[in-house]
A = this chain, B = another copy of it.
Amino acid sequence: MATSLDALFRPRGIAVAGASNDPTKPGHQVLHNLLEAGYAGQMAVINPNASAVLGVTAYPDLASIPATVEMLILAVPAATTPAMAEAIRLRKLQRQDLRVVVAVAGGFAETHTEEGRAWQEQLAEACVSAGVRLVGPNCVGIIDNRNRVDTTFLTGVHRRSSGISLLSQSGAMGAWMALEWGALPVPVGLNKFVSLGNMAEVDMGEVLDYLGQDPTTRAIGLYVEGNPRARALMEAAARATLRKPVVVLKVGRTDQGSDAAKSHTGALAGADRIYDGAFRQYGLIRTTRVDDFAVTLSAFDRLPLPLGGRVAVLTNAGGPGVYALDALADHGLSLAQFSPATKASLRATLPPFASVGDPDGHVDMTGGVGPRQVAQAVAAALRDPGVDALFHIFIPTKFNSAEEMARELLSLLPGLKRNSLDKPLFPVLLSGHGVAQARKLLEENGIMTFGSPDQAAAALAAMARYTSARQKPARP
């Protein structure tokens, strides 16, 4: 599918208006980010007072750039809008190449001044009449780690891509999440990041439709606040969720949060209940914590969906195992029931003092278990048709280094895959530095790992809810 939003993520040629050699200017940071991201198309800077910025040739105006400019990034004061509007019209007339304007500059309608509103209208009008899409103004903009585009002025952006795309109504929330997730012990990268600011033209619903149809996006994260076009947005989310999971975070869940949201976004009191109803009706998955949000999206991206919520828990330490069972119960998840064959196989594999199936679905392998036995027990439990998902709680012991356990697991899992036992495995590796190497080894071999039973439980619960919602007739 080709849409007019393609140029937002895959522009052939970008010009940055306002990029200067002064590193405190947002435009400087935007250009820096484009270069750091490794954007491979043609780049130009619009700056009448420089010949080049960060090695990119500068031109006095848009009209004089000889190369193709499909995307224009505006990092200039709002007061330049009349001139910019004219430049956009002219470029389109003379070169026909311009397809999208990303206005990261502020000073528009968000200032609630007449002047700001007028500039925003003028910019939108110029773009619409020229057939150019407008993102913003007052937006963080977009990052596309696959196509190596970054129009933002954020610092410390994690550059690895994934199957996760994040659409945030709030620039600050979006920035918090994208930057925080990229700094996790196992960083959560983003495929696309989109924050649209004032939404003078391109709105969230359209982008959500785009992400829903984007073949490289496997899971969508949506941060939403009170939204003037909420119905259209929810309908787009409902369409997207038929194709892939949409995990949503919305603040203002509580009375005092909702009071503040009202002043922040103009959301109506009680609006959260309406949103929450829509999330449920459309099969969107709601999370409440930013840390769970990241891990849940990552699990959707990287793990097969469970067929249900029956979870087996294997642990080599009693306390952490019970802790995990509590976390699962907090999220409404129940233990699987092992088949007699599985129990027999686990008992044959594990030391005699291991506790198998007490309660059913739970195995305390005890601290005396060795790495190979752990891997074999994981394999045996995964094979049980009554098990939809497996929690593998592990803490290194005197007899069982995390790396050795990881290597044993890696040697057994490919065989499992060939038997098409395609169900999610949650290796929860506990104790910080002591499991860092093992996590790295597993991650490098495509096995997702978890650092906390709480987050693993939140992720599995979300996946089980998505499975269950898909089994009901959808009502978009």
Contacts and interface: CB of A to CB of B under 8 A. Distances in A.
Interface of A: 26, 29, 111-112, 153-156, 170-173, 175-176, 179-184, 223, 225, 251-257, 259-261, 263-265, 288-291, 313, 317-323, 325-326, 328-330, 334-335, 353, 355, 358-359, 362, 364, 367, 395-398, 430-434, 436, 451-452, 454
Contacts of A263: 355, 358-359, 364
Contact of A322 (B26, B260, B431): B260
Contacts of A259: 325, 358-359, 362
B319 A180 contact: no
A165 B408 CA distance: 36
Contact of A431 (B179, B255, B256, B319): B179
A364 B170 contact: no
Contacts of A436: 183
A200 to B, nearest CB: 18
A319 B112 contact: no
B180 A431 contact: yes
Given A323-B290, A326-B257, A398-B26, A431 B318 contact: no
Contacts of A255: 329
A454 B294 CA distance: 15
B452 A290 contact: yes
B172 A334 contact: no
Count of chain copies:
2
B320 A430 contact: no
Nearest 3 CB-CB pairings of A with B: A183-B432, A172-B317, A254-B329
Contact of A319 (B26, B153, B223, B451): B223
Nearest to A323: B251
Given A170-B317, A326-B254, A432 B111 contact: no
A355 B264 contact: yes
Contacts of A317: 170, 172-173, 176
Contacts of A223: 319
Given A180-B432, A263-B364, A326-B254, A172 B319 contact: yes
30 contacts: A26-B398, A155-B396, A155-B434, A172-B367, A173-B323, A176-B320, A180-B431, A182-B432, A251-B319, A253-B329, A254-B325, A254-B330, A256-B326, A256-B329, A257-B322, A257-B329, A259-B359, A259-B362, A260-B313, A260-B318, A260-B321, A260-B325, A260-B359, A263-B359, A263-B364, A264-B319, A288-B326, A288-B330, A290-B323, A290-B452
A63 B434 CA distance: 37
A453 to B, nearest CB: 8
A456 to B, nearest CB: 13
A322 B251 contact: yes
Given A256-B334, A364-B263, A432 B156 contact: yes
A172 B318 contact: yes
A431 B436 CA distance: 22
B173 A252 contact: no
A253 B395 contact: no
Nearest to A111: B353
A73 to B, nearest CB: 14
Contacts of A254: 325-326, 329-330
A364 B320 CA distance: 40
A454 B172 contact: no
A254 B313 CA distance: 15
Contacts of A257: 322-323, 325-326, 329
Contacts of A359: 256, 259-260, 263
A395 B175 contact: yes
Contacts of A176: 317, 319-320, 395, 430-431
A264 B364 contact: yes
Given A225-B318, A259-B359, 20 more contacts: A29-B398, A156-B433, A172-B397, A173-B319, A175-B431, A179-B433, A183-B431, A183-B436, A252-B326, A254-B325, A254-B330, A256-B334, A256-B335, A257-B322, A260-B318, A260-B362, A263-B358, A264-B322, A264-B355, A288-B326
B256 A319 contact: no
A454 B176 CA distance: 14
